[in-house]
Amino acid sequence: MHLLQFLNKPILRHISMTLLFIITSIEYPISYTNYFWLLSTIKIIALLLLGSSACLNVTQISNFKLRGLMSKEIVIKIVLFLYALFGLKILLISIGVIIHLFKLFNLSYLKRFEIGLLLVFYPLSILMLIMFFKDYRNWIKKNLKQMTILLYLFVWIWFGSFYYYIAQRADGDDFVFSEQARIETTLKGFLKEGQYDSFDSSRLKSIIANNQYKKEYIGVGSNEYLTLDQTGKDWGDIYENMLGKEGYSFYSYKISPESIVIEPSMLNYNTIKNWGPYINKEFVEVTINLYKTKEKLFDSHSSVFYFEQSNTIINNIYLLEKPDKQLKLYFDKNELNIYLSIFKNEKIDTHLSNMIASSHTLLDGKFLDIFIGLNGYNKYQIEDFWYFSAVTITTLGFGDITPNSSAIRVAVMIEALIGIILIGIYISIITSNKDKARKIVRRKRRAKF
């Protein structure tokens, strides 16, 4: 009984309605982020509170006959419940049907219609249904100061989600990021997607800062790229970490008697300028044999150690006869001789990372991923656009992220104006409440005299 009374409290209905409006306004723009499931959970709780309230009101009506004001509210609650639960899916299906039926027309207009429908019409229609309730309107009037703050926060989150949605559709072309913001944001995207881990973070920063992702390269194998300059220690560490996580613990190498010769047929218009002076240059090919162990021998899972034939324990127990994987590394002949002369000076020199670093080889397309991430804006996170929205609504304007299209500039102006207006309204409410309190005090004083 106490639980039923608690669920039927007006404050719970009002909170659930407010949450429904907020969540339905931003759930589509952030549908591909980690926050979507959290919002979906909150939405389900809000719908359950609204549904329980409607069911309790139905049971209070004699003979279950809907009549009068109460019956209208129940019907609206049921419509609101179903619309908030299925409305977005229905709208998405409708958009799909429209695009399918009118595919001969300019799709850009349909895309604009889709944005307006999902980001504006759907949440506003939810709000219209909510505002049908007189007690909800009265609750807003009684808590106008708190609702103004909530509206300010809502505008901040909504515009941030909107900017993120637009940036995802346009691959970030509507925004310009400063160099440092671009680097930090791209790194966060890579780490979040699991392509790299915390071990690689500092090395990636160094690679980006020194433009090592812009290496001049030509493809020489199925997954190897020959570069003009040496691969470098940062890339060597990243590749060794990657191979270590794949389970490889040891490696051996074999210098091939054959060599790679740069020929004109290997070049194109984009590469001839830098590679032209190196035509007929020879690169020594070194085959790297990688081995997995049956069990983990060392605490460091990301290190790949040089296999010495004299180590019979490893040879007899852990090492397979055939390598689990082979890589091709390409060296300048003089640089290879220098490297091999110091190869066994210290144990750390024999790490695979040093051999890769001394070569002229990139092993896969990771460097292309970084180039695309930095220039295609496809790794940005929603937190960056919430930050941009906060800077906009507070009119701070740090400048590390700036709008780059007329539509976004208009949205930024609207958000900034709404923020200023809401702050003005909030100050007006506070001063008005203080004036009312002073008048009441004065009246009480006059009544005493």
187, 358, 374, 384, 423 from 181: Cα distances, Å: 10, 31, 10, 9, 29
Handedness of CA 92, 95, 101, 105 (dihedral sign): negative
Distance CA 54, CA 57 (A): 5
Quick one: tokens of 325?
Answer: 């994987």
pLDDT value for 283: 93
Quick one: tokens of 254?
Answer: 């074999």
Domain parsing of the chain, residue ranges = 2-142, 195-365
Look at 340 and 298; give whichever has higher pLDDT. 340
Is 66's pLDDT higher than 60?
Answer: no
Look at 147 and 53; give whichever has higher pLDDT. 147
Look at 94 and 41; give whichever has higher pLDDT. 41
Quick one: tokens of 348?
Answer: 């750390």
pLDDT tens for each residue of 388-403: 999 999 988 888 888 9
Is 412's pLDDT higher than 80?
Answer: yes
Distance CA 74, CA 50 (A): 10
DSSP label at 256? E
Mean of all residue pLDDT scores within the chain? 80
pLDDT tens for each residue of 138-191: 999 899 999 999 999 999 999 999 999 888 877 667 888 877 777 777 777 777
Mean pLDDT over residues 21-34, rounded?
A: 89
Residues 6+ apart with CB under 8 A from 263: 279, 280
Is 321's pLDDT higher than 50?
Answer: yes
Provide the whole-model pTM: 0.72
Distance CA 333, CA 335 (A): 6
Distance CA 133, CA 121 (A): 20
240 CB neighbour count, 10 Å cutoff:
24
Quick one: tokens of 66?
Answer: 């809907």
119 touches 166 (CB < 8 A): no
Handedness of CA 30, 32, 35, 37 (dihedral sign): positive
pLDDT band at 317 (very low <50, low <70, confident <90, very high): very low
Question: 402 pairs with which residues across the strands?
Answer: 176
pLDDT band at 64 (very low <50, low <70, confident <90, very high): very low
**SS3 label, residue 308:** coil
Is 250's pLDDT higher than 80?
Answer: yes
Q: What is the β-pairing status of strands 248-261 and 305-306?
A: parallel
Distance CA 362, CA 285 (A): 13
Q: Which of 25-29, 69-73, 438-442 has the highest mean pLDDT?
A: 25-29
pLDDT tens for each residue of 201-245: 888 888 877 777 778 888 887 778 888 889 889 989 988 988 888
Q: Which of 56-60, 297-301, 332-336 has the highest mean pLDDT?
A: 332-336
Percentage of residues in the chain having pLDDT higher than 90: 20
pLDDT tens for each residue of 417-427: 999 999 999 99
Distance CA 286, CA 330 (A): 6
Angle between helices 179-193 and 366-376 (to 10 degrees): 130
Distance CA 126, CA 81 (A): 10
Distance CA 302, CA 243 (A): 7
pLDDT tens for each residue of 337-393: 888 887 766 766 788 998 999 999 988 766 666 666 666 545 678 888 999 999 999
373 CB neighbour count, 10 Å cutoff:
23
